[in-house]
Amino acid sequence: MFARNRHTVQRLGFTAITMMAVFTVIPIVGTIIFILFKGGSAISWEFLSGFPHDGMRAGGILPAIIGTLYLTVGTAVFSVPLGIAAAIYLAEYASDNRLTRLIRLAIINLAGIPSVVYGLFGLGLFVLFLKFGTSILAASLTLSIMTLPVIISTAEESLRSVPQAFRTVSISLGATRWQTIRRIILKEALPGILTGVILGLERAAGETAPILFTGAAFFLPRLPGSPFDATMALPYHLFVISTQVPEMPIQIQYGTALVLLVFVLTMNIIATVIRSRARARRQW
C-alpha cells in the first residue's frame, strides 16, 4: 500500500516536471517556427539588397544587415584577442590569490550589468569623453566589453579542460611556457574557445540597448563609410519599425525579424556543431 503510494507520487511528480520542461520548450520552438512562417513571404532579393524608402514602409533592409555585420566584426576585433588573453591569464598564469578572486568577481559583475547600463557607459566614455561620436567604433567598443565575460569564461573553461600532461610533456621537451600555450594548449582548446566567441558575438549581434545611444541610426540613405559613422542595425531597425513608424506594413516587420533571427540562429547552430563535433572527436 505504502509502496504503491510512493510510486504514484513519483509518477505524478515526473509528469509535472516533464510538463514544465515541455512548456519551456514549446514556446521556443513555436516562436522560431512562427517567425519563419510569417516572415518567409517578405524575403526577396529586393528586400535583402535594397534600401528602405517611403519612410521605411517599402524597400529593403540592406543598410541594417550590413550595419549588423560591421558591428559584429567590430566587436570581434576588440573582444576576441582581449577575451582570449584574459582567459589564458586566468587558466595558465594566475595563482589563487586575492587579486585573482577580484578579477573573477569583476567578470561575474560584467556579466550581470544590464545592457542599457552598458549603453550609458559607452555614451559617457566613448561617445562623449573620448569624442568618438555616435559611431560604429563607439558601439563596437561598448558591445566588446559586454561580450568579454562570455568569451573569457568559456575560453577559460576550455583551456582548463586540456590535461595537465600536455603541459608537462611540452615543458620537459624544452618549450617555454608561451610556446606551450601557443602551440599545444590553444590548439587543443580551440573548438571550445571558438564556441564561446561565437556565442558572445551572437549576443552582441542581437543587442539593441547598448547601441541605442552609442552608434545606432534611425535611417541612413547610404552605407557607413568609416568606423566614425553611425550605422543602422537589424535589432534597432526592428525596434524602430515595430514601435516608432505608424502604419508600418506587417510584412516588412516580420521579414526583418526573420532576417535577424536567421543571423543569430546561424551563429548559434555553428557554435553548437563545433562543440559537439569537438566533444565527439576528443581522445583524452
Partner 1 sequence: MEKSLTLREFIITRLIQASGYSAILFVALIFFFLLREGLPTLAEVDASSLLSIRWYPIENYFGILPLITGSLIVTLGAALIAVPFGIGTAIYISEIAPRWMREILKPLVELLGGLPSVVLGFLGILVVSPFLRVFLDLPTGLTAFTGSLLLGGIAVPTVVSVAEDALDAVPRSYREGAWALGATHWQTIWRVTLPAARSGVLTAVMLGVGRAIGETMTVMMVTGNAPVMAVKLGSLFSPVRTMTATIAAEMGEVANGSTHYHVLFFIGMVLFLISFIVNIIASSVVFRAKKRAERILS
| Window 135 to 174, contacts with partner 1 (CB under 8 A) | 145, 148-149, 152
Stretch binding partner 1 (CB under 8 A), from 8-16, 47-55, 186-194, 223-231: 8-16
Q: Which residues contact 137 (CB under 8 A, 6 or more apart)?
A: 74, 126, 215, 227, 228
* Residue closer to partner 1 (CB basis): 194 or 260: 260
Spatial CA neighbour of 240 closest among 268, 263, 262, 260: 260
CB of 179 to partner 1, least distance (A): 8
Distance separating alpha carbons of residues 249 and 256, to the nearest angstrom: 11
Among 65, 136, 139, 202, binds partner 1 (CB under 8 A): 202
Residue 49's alpha-carbon distances to 34, 59, 61, 244, 267, in angstroms, are 24, 9, 7, 23, 21
- Asked whether position 255 contacts partner 1 by CB under 8 A, the answer is no
| Window 40 to 79, contacts with partner 1 (CB under 8 A) | none
- Asked whether position 86 contacts partner 1 by CB under 8 A, the answer is yes
- Asked whether position 209 contacts partner 1 by CB under 8 A, the answer is yes
Phi/psi zone of residue 50: left (φ > 0), alpha (ψ -120 to 50 degrees), beta?
beta
CB of 203 to partner 1, least distance (A): 7
- Asked whether position 34 contacts partner 1 by CB under 8 A, the answer is yes
- Asked whether position 90 contacts partner 1 by CB under 8 A, the answer is yes
Q: Rg (Cα) of the chain, in Å, rounded?
A: 23
Q: Which residues pair with 59 in a beta bridge?
A: 52
Distance separating alpha carbons of residues 272 and 278, to the nearest angstrom: 10
- Asked whether position 33 contacts partner 1 by CB under 8 A, the answer is no
Among 49, 124, 161, 183, binds partner 1 (CB under 8 A): 124
* Residue closer to partner 1 (CB basis): 45 or 234: 234
CB of 223 to partner 1, least distance (A): 22
Contact 237, 64 (CB under 8 A): yes
CB of 93 to partner 1, least distance (A): 6
Q: How many chain residues bind partner 1 (CB under 8 A)?
A: 90
Distance separating alpha carbons of residues 119 and 214, to the nearest angstrom: 7
- Asked whether position 253 contacts partner 1 by CB under 8 A, the answer is yes
Spatial CA neighbour of 141 closest among 78, 202, 81, 86: 78
- Asked whether position 207 contacts partner 1 by CB under 8 A, the answer is yes
